[in-house]
Amino acid sequence: MPRPSSAVRAALVVLVTLVWVSGARAQTPVAAADGPPAPELPVTVARDDAGRVTVRAVRLDAPLTFDGRLDEAVYQRIHPMSEFIQQEPREGAPATEKTDVWVFFDDSTLYISAHCWDTHPELEVVNERRRDHLNIYQNENFIAVIDTYHDKRNSFLFETNPLGALRDGYITDERVHNVDWSTVWDVRARRDDTGWMFETAIPFKSLRYQGSGEQIWGINFLRVVRWKNELSHLTRVPAAWAQRGVYKASSFATMVGVNPGAASRTLELKPYVTGAVRTDNVGTPRRSNEPGGDVGGDLKVGVTKSLTADFSFNTDFAQVEDDEQQVNLTRFSVFFPEKREFFLEGQGIFQFGGVSTRVSPGALTGGNQGPGDTPVVFFSRRIGLNGNRPVPILAGGRMTGRAGAYSIGAINIQTGESEDGVTRSTNFSVLRVRRDLLKRGSIGVLATSRDVAAAGGGSSQVVGVDAGMAFRNSWTMDGAYVRSLSSRGQGEGTSYWSRVDFAVDRYGMQYEHLFVGPGFTPEVGFLRRLDFRRNFGQVRFSPRLRRTRLRQVHNEVSLDYVTNPAGDLETRVLEVSTRGDFRGGDNFEVKYLRDFERLVRPFQVATGVTIPVGGYTFQEVQSSFNFGPQRKIAGRVGLTRGQFFDGDRTEVSYSGRVEANGSLMFEPAVSVNWVDLPYGTFRNTVARTRATHTLSPRSFVGALVQYASATHTVSANVRFRWEYQPGSDLFVVYSEGRDTDPRGLPGLQNRGIVVKFTRLFRF
Of the candidates 377, 320, 372, the residue with the CA atom closest to the CA atom of residue 573: 372
**DSSP assignments along 540-571, one per residue:** EE--B-SSSSEEEEEEEEEEEEEE-TTS-EEE
Q: Which of 510, 528, 546 is the last residue of a domain?
A: 528
Query: What is the per-residue pLDDT for 5?
Result: 47
* Domain annotation covers residue 374: yes
677 and 722 share a domain?
Answer: no
Give a yes or no: residue 94 inside a domain: yes
pLDDT tens-digit map of 408-466: 999 999 998 877 777 788 899 999 999 988 888 899 999 999 988 776 667 889 999 99
Task: Find all residues with CB under 8 Å of 548, minimum gap 6, and list them.
Answer: none
Which amino acid, one-letter code, is at 467?
A
The reply to whether 436 and 492 lie within a common domain is yes
Range among 40-49, 263-272, 360-369, 383-392 with highest mean pLDDT value = 40-49
Does one domain contain both 365 and 436?
yes
- Highest mean pLDDT, choosing among 72-86, 394-408, 449-463, 618-632: 72-86
- What is the DSSP code (8-state) at residue 608? T
Residue 10 host element (H or E): helix 6-26
CA atoms of 398 and 246, how far apart (whole Å): 28
- Looking at the fold, whether 379 and 513 belong to one and the same domain comes out as yes
Which letter does DSSP use for residue 38 in this model?
P
* Residue 322, in any domain of the structure: no
Same structural domain for residues 499 and 360? yes
pLDDT value for 370: 58
Does residue 282 share a domain with residue 160?
A: no
The residue from 235, 256, 277 where one domain ends is: 256
pLDDT tens digits, 516-542: 999 898 989 989 899 999 999 999 999
- Specify whether the CB–CB gap between 164 and 198 falls below 8 A: yes
Q: Decide if 522 is inside a domain.
A: yes
Residue-wise pLDDT tens digits, 545-585: 988 889 999 999 999 999 998 899 999 999 999 999 998 88
244 and 346 housed in the same domain? no
Q: How many helices (H) and strands (E) does the chain have?
A: 4, 44
| Most confidently predicted of 199-208, 305-314, 653-662 | 199-208
List the single range of 21-35, 109-123, 222-236, 391-405 with lowest mean pLDDT: 21-35
Asked if the model's pLDDT at residue 356 lies above 70, the reply is no
**Closest to 198 (Cα-Cα) out of 111, 72, 113:** 113
Over residues 210-251, the pLDDT tens digits come to 877 889 999 999 999 999 999 999 999 999 888 889 999 999
Q: Which of 50-54, 153-157, 236-240, 737-741 has the weakest average pLDDT?
A: 737-741
Whether pTM exceeds 0.75: yes
CB atoms within 10 A of CB 472: 6
Same domain flag for 746 and 617? no
DSSP codes of every residue in 400-435: EEEETTEEEEEEEEEE---TTSSSPPEEEEEEEEEE
Amino acid at 73: A
Q: What is the pLDDT of residue 13?
A: 44
Give the tens place of pLDDT for each residue, 359-373. Answer: 444 444 433 455 688
How much is the pLDDT for 2? 42
Does 275 share its domain with 180? no
Q: Which domain does 295 fall in, by range?
A: 266-305+712-763
pLDDT at 505 exceeding the cut of 60: yes
pLDDT score recorded for residue 357: 59
449 within some domain? yes
Report the pLDDT value the prediction gives residue 7, as an integer from 0 to 100. 44
Q: Could you give the number of structural domains in the chain?
A: 4
Which stretch of 235-244, 263-272, 502-511, 533-542 has the lowest confidence by average pLDDT? 263-272
pLDDT over threshold 80, residue 491: no
Percent of the chain past pLDDT 90, that is, above it, reads 60
Q: Is 560 in the same domain as 502?
A: no
* Cis peptide, bond prior to residue 42, ω within 30 of zero: yes
In a domain, 489, yes or no: yes
On the question of pLDDT at 29 being above 70, the answer is no
CA nearest to 732, candidates 697, 699, 708:
699
Give the mean pLDDT of the chain. 87
Q: What is the mean pLDDT of residues 261-274?
A: 81
Residues in the chain: 763
Q: Which residues pair with 159 in a beta bridge?
A: 143, 167
Whether residue 131 is found in the same domain as residue 204: yes
The pLDDT tens digits of the residues spanning 695-733 come to 999 999 999 999 998 888 899 999 999 999 988 999 999
Asked if the structure places residue 311 within a domain, the reply is: no
Give the domain-ending residue among 643, 667, 685. Answer: 685
- pLDDT class of 24 with cuts at 50, 70, 90: very low
Task: Indicate if 600 and 719 belong to the same structural domain.
Answer: no
On whether residue 313 sits in a domain, the answer given is: no
| Ramachandran assignment for 190, one of left (phi > 0), alpha (psi -120 to 50 degrees), beta (any other) | beta
What are φ and ψ of residue 49, in 5° steps?
A: -65, -20
Whether residue 188 is predicted with pLDDT greater than 90 in this model: the reply is yes
DSSP 687-700: EEEEEEEEEETTEE
E strand spans, 600-663:
603-606, 609-611, 614-627, 633-644, 647-659
